[in-house]
Structure 1
Amino acid sequence: MISEKEHSVKLAEARSYLMERVTTMPELGVILGSGLGAFADLIEEEIVIPYKEIPHFPISTVEGHAGQMVFGTVDGRKVVVMQGRFHFYEGYAMQEVTFPIRVMQVLGVKGLIVTNAAGGINAAFHPGDLILIKDHINLMGDNPLRGANLSSLGPRFPDLSDGYNLEWRQKALEIARELGIKPQEGVYAAMSGPNYETPAEIRYLRTIGADMVGMSTVPEVLVANHAGMRVLGISCVTNMAAGILPQKLSHVEVMETANRIEKQFVRFVQGLVREL
């Protein structure tokens, strides 16, 4: 676990590198999950920077993650989009997983839209559904805020009672209705992975109130809230979780479902960027 001083130095170096290459600083960040990277095609005046070129950035190793930051505008809104994220199961420490959120913070980003591919636990959900995250359950066994508090970046004990901003969720539900998308909300449970959950684990998650399950998002949301950002979360249900249906689970199915709803997803996120 790195010290506050070391973390500050790394942030300063990453920020300096990006500010030399980006002419317009973003106000909104977007993280695109597995198979959901097509939204970045909407960005105008784009500046594409591969993760491997940014000081101290990890490298995304998962299929369906392009591994780059894209700066520019969408419908006049200044954004930075992450095409691909980092996961705890890839072997990175939580502070590494969430380092891009800290970089967004020091660049001046005030709000974050975070998306993911998730397994459906709630029987009312179906593959291809877009679900707004209203709350989460952290079962990853770690927390990116553990250790010395980065006091210059946020409080020791951040409040998560509005971790997924209510005002933004209400606007997002309205936008969903306008686009003909069934407005739905749910609780996201985060597991460490990389294996898919067992049927017994899914029964447990359902019992404690989870509607979707995945292996990401929560660390980023914790750091974004610590940083004082507003957050909106969207899960794309790409498959039903283990034991819900008599089927085997695979990343291929996740990618196929994400590709199938790609156009709808892009229109939804575009509307969010324009209105939030």
Structure 2
Amino acid sequence: MVQSSETVIDTSLTERATAVINLIQEWVPAELHYPKVAVICGSGLHHLADALNISPRAEIPFSDLPYFPLPTVDGHIGKLVFGYFGTVPTVCMVGRIHFYEGNPFDVSVFPIRVFSAMGISTLLVTNAAGGLNSEYKVGDLMVLNDHINFPGLAGWHPLKGPNDPLVGPRFPALSDAYDLELRQKLFESAKTLKLGRAIHEGVYVFVSGPTYETRAESRMLKMLGADAVGMSTVPEIIIARHSGMKVLAISLITNAVVTQPTPKASDGPANLSAGKATHEEVIEAARQAAEDMRALVMDVISGL
């Protein structure tokens, strides 16, 4: 008898996650064995981990963990940092693993499976994103309240393949992907902290990268209803929700996406480089926003 794809389970996923957790528990203090929250630090936002209490604290490089590939992108260090935000045990993933680096989705989202297996109930994701919404300025923050999974709609989906019903449902709904209570808490924290930058709510569109979008692609994404665009986050969100975790996601707008049509040759001289996105400006914008992001993330998590 031939089994259906619904019942063909990759048991090695649980085995791999268990192997990683066993190593973590050998290397970190016992009081850090069971974090409540995981934070993914996006491009240039590795300083978020600096807000963890000084003690107890432990760091583990990805290179010491099996099944964790090393990040290859500037601004992504590649380590797990365990500690406390206030009284809340937390693990910070300093640097992420991107699909465009050549990793299959099951590899790039594997840390989220480990976090779920550790019993973590809340995932807080940060990223650097390009602003499509004309009201967004460089340095603004956007709280995700929805997303468009562009590669996923074309078949490149992190849940493609056999499903383990013990891990999550075959057809998870994502209409409630971004937790309302956590979003409300973030805006309450921002009001208390009196941050000097605008905070929006909006739609993030995930594209595979690694090229930045063309002008025509950017106009298309804007027409589809996206407020910001980036090359990460959505696969992590999908796996977190598949595993039953609550999710809060924050984009730092690091560049204004160019949507004006390309000048025609008949128009005469034009500066095609005006507004062109670079990774250096992404890192610089993240550096300037680091303190506000750190204060906001710490306040949100400390109140959980």
TM band (smaller chain) = over 0.9
The residue number in structure 2 matching 1:159 is 173
Task: Note if 1:260 corresponds to 2:260.
Answer: no
For the residues of structure 2 that align with 1:194 and 1:208, how far apart are their CA atoms?
Answer: 21
* 8 Å CA contact retained: 1:132, 1:169: yes
Alpha-carbon offset, residue 21 of structure 1 = 1.8
Task: Note if 1:170 corresponds to 2:181.
Answer: no
The residue number in structure 2 matching 1:34 is 43
Which of these residues, 237, 241, 245, is aligned with residue 253 of structure 2?
Answer: 237
SS in 2 for 1:200: helix
Structure number with greater Rg is 2
What TM-score, normalized by structure 1, do the two folds share? 0.96
The residue number in structure 1 matching 2:3 is none
Alpha-carbon offset, residue 243 of structure 1 = 2.8
* 8 Å CA contact retained: 2:203, 2:227: yes
Q: Deviations over 1:33-90 (max 9, x none)?
A: 0001101112222100000111111111110011000011111110010000010000
Counterpart mapping for 1:183-194 below 5 A: 183-194=199-210
For the residues of structure 1 that align with 2:105 and 2:75, how far apart are their CA atoms?
Answer: 21
SS in 1 for 2:170: coil
* 8 Å CA contact retained: 2:43, 2:76: yes
What TM-score, normalized by structure 2, do the two folds share? 0.88
The residue number in structure 1 matching 2:264 is none
Could you tell me which amino acid in structure 1 is paired with residue 13 of structure 2? Answer: H
The residue number in structure 2 matching 1:74 is 85
For the residues of structure 1 that align with 2:66 and 2:9, how far apart are their CA atoms?
Answer: 17
For the residues of structure 2 that align with 1:150 and 1:204, how far apart are their CA atoms?
Answer: 36
Alpha-carbon offset, residue 133 of structure 1 = 0.5
For the residues of structure 2 that align with 1:171 and 1:42, how far apart are their CA atoms?
Answer: 19
Alpha-carbon offset, residue 150 of structure 1 = 2.3
Extract unaligned runs of 5+ from structure 1: none
For the residues of structure 2 that align with 1:4 and 1:19, how far apart are their CA atoms?
Answer: 24
Alpha-carbon offset, residue 3 of structure 1 = 5.8
The residue number in structure 2 matching 1:106 is 117
Task: Note if 1:206 corresponds to 2:222.
Answer: yes
Stretch moving more, 25-34 or 6-15: 6-15
- The alignment covers a number of residue pairs equal to 275
For the residues of structure 1 that align with 2:168 and 2:295, how far apart are their CA atoms?
Answer: 33
Q: How large is the Cα RMSD of the aligned pairs? A: 1.4
Alpha-carbon offset, residue 96 of structure 1 = 0.5
For the residues of structure 2 that align with 1:57 and 1:272, how far apart are their CA atoms?
Answer: 28
Counterpart mapping for 1:46-125 below 5 A: 46-125=57-136
The residue number in structure 1 matching 2:15 is 9
Stretch moving more, 239-248 or 59-68: 239-248
The percentage of counterpart residues that share the same residue type is 44
Q: Deviations over 1:152-193 (max 9, x none)?
A: 211111111110101111111111122224331010000000
The residue number in structure 1 matching 2:157 is 143
For the residues of structure 1 that align with 2:75 and 2:199, how far apart are their CA atoms?
Answer: 26
Q: Deviations over 1:199-237 (max 9, x none)?
A: 111101111100000000000000000010000000000
Stretch moving more, 203-212 or 7-16: 7-16
* 8 Å CA contact retained: 1:173, 1:184: no
* 8 Å CA contact retained: 2:257, 2:275: no
Could you tell me which amino acid in structure 1 is paired with residue 237 of structure 2? Answer: V
